[in-house]
Amino acid sequence: MGPSPVDNGRDDLGKVLVRTAAALADTPWEALRGIDGATHKVLWQHGAVVIGLIKVEAGSEKPEHTHHGAHHHMFITRGSCVMLGERVDEGSYVYVPPGVAHAVTDVGPDGVEFFYTYRPVELVGAVDDDDYVAGPV
């Protein structure tokens, strides 16, 4: 399952952005690719590079998927879940290199929220991969 392109014409490169906790709290969560119980907020975007927040509610999960052309960095800001076979909670860091399948499962009773970066790599040659698009992880 590949991410849906973030096609909003947004380009934050070179812009100074300051989002206070209150402003972020007022920013609505948007549905994440039709996954029940999963939402996101894009904080910054330039082309295919996306930085944001993802929230997965208790009892929900983000199914396994692979990004063949992007690095993922995730920092858990609230709650807990299992990623890459490890239970992670607030303060944990997860790095997923391109080509590694990953999911968000076994979400804790308070859900899980994490900060993420999605940074495509430069690929040589033809790539037959729907995952090589800008979008929430």
Quick: pLDDT tens for 32-83. Answer: 989 999 999 999 999 888 999 999 999 999 999 998 889 999 999 999 999 9
| Lowest-pLDDT range of 17-26, 79-88, 118-127 | 118-127
Residues in Cβ contact with 94 at an 8 Å cutoff, skipping those fewer than 6 apart: 72, 73, 74, 75, 76, 83, 84, 86, 88, 114
Q: What is the pLDDT of residue 2?
A: 39
Domain ranges in the chain?
A: 21-120
Contact, 112 vs 74, CB < 8 A? no
Contact, 69 vs 120, CB < 8 A? yes
Class of domain 21-120: mainly beta
Q: Does 87 score more than 70 pLDDT? A: yes
